[in-house]
Amino acid sequence: MPPPRLNHQNLRNESTAKDKTGTLDIPVKFLDQDYQELRKSCITNKKRFVDDKFLPDSSSIDPKKKLKLDLDQIKWLRPSNIVADPQLIVKEVSRFDYSQGSYLGNCWFLASVGALTFQKDIMDQVMPADQSFGKYYAGIFQFRFWRFGKWIEVVIDDKLPTINGKLIFVHSKTSNEFWPALLEKAYAKVCGSYADMHAGSVSEALLDFTGGVHVYFKLKKTSTDLWSLMDRAAKAKALMGCSTSQGVACQGEPVRLVRVLNPWGKGEWNGAWSDKSSLWNKVSEKERTQCRSLANDGEFWMSMEDFTKNFEEIDICCLSPDFLDSSSKCSWTTTRYNGSWESGTTAGGCINNKDSFWTNPQFRVRIEELDEECASGQCPENILVSLMQIHENRYRSLVSNYSIGFSVYLIPPEMKDEKFPAKFFYHRRSVEDSGNFIDTRHVMKFFKLEPGEYLIVPTTFNSKESAKFMLSIFTKSESHKRKKKPAMTRV
Q: Kindly report which listed range (115-119, 225-229, 327-331) carries the lowest average pLDDT score.
A: 327-331
State the burial class of residue 177 (Cβ atoms within 10 Å of its Cβ: 0-12, 13-18, 19+): buried
Alpha-carbon span 246 to 229, nearest angstrom: 12
- Is residue 1 included in any domain, yes or no? no
- What is the domain-level CATH number for residue 302? 3.90.70.10
Please give the residue that has the higher pLDDT: either 209 or 265: 209
Q: Are residues 48 and 184 in the same domain?
A: yes
Alpha-carbon span 151 to 252, nearest angstrom: 48
pLDDT at residue 264, as a whole number: 64
User: What does DSSP assign to residue 412?
Assistant: P
Given the residues 7, 42, 107, 352, the one annotated as active site: 107
pLDDT at residue 16, as a whole number: 44
Q: Residue 260 contacts by C-beta under 8 Å, 6 or more apart in sequence?
A: 241, 242, 269, 299, 300, 301, 302, 307
The band of 303, judged by pLDDT with boundaries at 50, 70 and 90, is confident
107 is catalytic: yes
274, 297, 316: which is the final residue of a domain? 316
Alpha-carbon span 393 to 398, nearest angstrom: 7
Residue 338: strand pairing partners = 470
Helix or strand (DSSP H, E) at 112: helix 107-116
Q: Are residues 434 and 333 in the same domain?
A: yes
pLDDT at residue 257, as a whole number: 83
Phi, psi of 426 (to 5 degrees): -55, -50
Q: Are residues 136 and 198 in the same domain?
A: yes
Q: Residue 52 contacts by C-beta under 8 Å, 6 or more apart in sequence?
A: none
Cα 273 to chain center, whole Å?
30
State the burial class of residue 468 (Cβ atoms within 10 Å of its Cβ: 0-12, 13-18, 19+): middle
Q: Are residues 328 and 312 in the same domain?
A: no
Across residues 254-268, what is the average pLDDT? 73
- How distant, in Å, are the alpha carbons of 316, 407, 457 from that of 214? 6, 19, 20
Q: Are residues 468 and 480 in the same domain?
A: yes
Reply yes or no on whether the pLDDT at 7 is more than 50: no
Alpha-carbon span 404 to 88, nearest angstrom: 41
CB neighbourhood size of 328 (10 A): 12
pLDDT at residue 417, as a whole number: 66
- Is residue 421 included in any domain, yes or no? yes
- Is residue 248 included in any domain, yes or no? yes
Q: Report the b/e string of 247-260 with b at 16+ CB within 10 A.
A: bbebeeeebbbbeb
Reply yes or no on whether the pLDDT at 255 is more than 70: yes
| Number of domains the chain contains | 3
The band of 184, judged by pLDDT with boundaries at 50, 70 and 90, is very high
- Is residue 155 included in any domain, yes or no? yes
Reply yes or no on whether the pLDDT at 183 is more than 60: yes
Contact between 154 and 144 (Cβ < 8 Å): yes
Alpha-carbon span 482 to 145, nearest angstrom: 31
Across residues 13-27, what is the average pLDDT? 69
262 is catalytic: yes
Highest mean pLDDT among 11-20, 99-108, 127-136: 127-136
Beta strands in 324-401 (DSSP E): 330-341, 363-367, 383-390
- What is the domain-level CATH number for residue 435? 2.60.120.380
pLDDT at residue 210, as a whole number: 92
How does the average pLDDT of the chain come out, rounded? 84
pLDDT at residue 186, as a whole number: 97
CB neighbourhood size of 211 (10 A): 22
Q: Are residues 175 and 273 in the same domain?
A: no
In the sheet that holds 452-460, the strands lie side by side as 432-433, 404-410, 452-460, 363-367, 488-490
Q: Are residues 474 and 374 in the same domain?
A: yes
Q: Kindly report which listed range (58-72, 134-148, 235-249, 343-357) carries the lowest average pLDDT score.
A: 235-249
Contact between 346 and 458 (Cβ < 8 Å): no
- Is residue 3 included in any domain, yes or no? no
Across residues 132-144, what is the average pLDDT? 94
Please give the residue that has the higher pLDDT: either 324 or 8: 324
Q: Are residues 361 and 415 in the same domain?
A: yes
Across residues 111-116, what is the average pLDDT? 88
Q: Are residues 39 and 188 in the same domain?
A: yes
Phi, psi of 146 (to 5 degrees): -95, 120
Q: How many helices (H) and strands (E) does the chain have?
A: 13, 25
- Is residue 420 included in any domain, yes or no? yes
Given the residues 42, 45, 250, 262, the one annotated as active site: 262
pLDDT at residue 12, as a whole number: 39
- Is residue 240 included in any domain, yes or no? yes
Reply yes or no on whether the pLDDT at 389 is more than 90: yes
257, 286, 316: which is the final residue of a domain? 316
- Is residue 173 included in any domain, yes or no? yes
Q: Are residues 188 and 63 in the same domain?
A: yes
Percent of the chain with pLDDT over 90: 42
290, 316, 342: which is the final residue of a domain? 316
Q: Are residues 247 and 263 in the same domain?
A: yes
Longest dimension (CA), the chain: 84
Q: For 308-320, what is each residue's pLDDT tens digit?
A: 888 888 888 888 8
Across residues 46-55, what is the average pLDDT? 96
Residue 249: strand pairing partners = 254
pLDDT at residue 4, as a whole number: 34
Q: Are residues 435 and 306 in the same domain?
A: no
Reply yes or no on whether the pLDDT at 479 is more than 80: no
Residues spanned by the domain of 308: 213-316
